[in-house]
Amino acid sequence: MNNCTVVNQCRAGNAGRFEAVVTGYAWENVGLGRGWRLAVDGWQPTTFLRYVRTVDSSSRTALVHTDAGTAYLKAINNPQGPHVLACGEKGLTMGGQRALSIVDNIADLPKLVPFDTWVRNCDRYAPGLGKGGQARMNADNLFLSTEGASEGKFVLKAIDHGQILTCGRPVDRNLLKIDCIKEERVYGLFPFFRGFLSEGDFAAPLDVLAKVQPSFWEDLLARIPEERNVSSHKESISQFLLDRARFLADRFPEMLFRELNPGMLNFH
């Protein structure tokens, strides 16, 4: 499906009325110099004004301008079929630090950073892996869901783990190299997370890492389809996850201290 198909689908019906599912939440501009706010209540777009771009996703979601502001639109004739509209989860992607004030599960942030560091997820936040040695940052892989959230708030969920372990490179026995298992890059620590975290918050997640066993992921690995071409490397994946968990349980506090306090010495 090309971009024109998305636009034509949006325009179906009278006067450009929507015949698709539009995300029910958006960031709206509240005026020059006043920034943005979350438009939660009463956000009811009715008219398609302009197509902006197509998002690189399986359902080819479109970013559009409406009479009520910018929105993401998933059309009925998307490549995944109309059933995905029923399966979709209401919410929106992270808009930066301003969004954390409306997150119910802010206490889960200390779980996300060790997890992303454990699996070496370069597709959320990865310092030094972006252009010119800058951080690679993709806040779109943080999803604010309405499911299970209190009124007017959201539940923060980590989504899309297609770049874990090898950052898109083939998965093989190279995972077991010491520079992979003992890599000290701290993943997932967005700059706008820092005001909500302290070093002591990570004790419980690290205790979980220290106790993980291969039985935690054996069923998951067993369900990977043969056509993914990783069957011969499942043992390597399992051993990597175990060895890296043990390494981080011991080393992560020092790694985190260096990340939060560049140039300082840790005398603890």
The string of pLDDT tens digits covering residues 192-221 is: 998 888 888 999 999 999 999 999 999 999
Residue 38 pLDDT > 70: no
Name the phi and psi angles at 216, rounded to 5: -65, -30
Q: Are 77 and 129 in contact (CB under 8 A)?
A: no
Q: Which residue has the tokens 């777009």?
A: 45
Q: How far apart are CA 67 and CA 107, in angstroms?
A: 36
Q: How far apart are CA 196 and CA 72, in angstroms?
A: 28
What pLDDT does residue 55 have? 73
Q: Which domains does the chain have, with CATH numbers?
A: 3-88 (no CATH), 97-260 (1.10.1070)
**Distance in angstroms (rounded) separating the CA atoms of residues 237 and 240:** 5
- Whole-number Cα distances in Å, 79 to 1, 61, 94, 161, 219: 7, 10, 25, 21, 30
Q: Band of the pLDDT at 28, cuts 50, 70, 90?
A: very low
Question: pTM of the entire structure?
Answer: 0.71
Band (pLDDT 50/70/90 cuts) for residue 241 is very high
The amino acid at residue 265 is: L
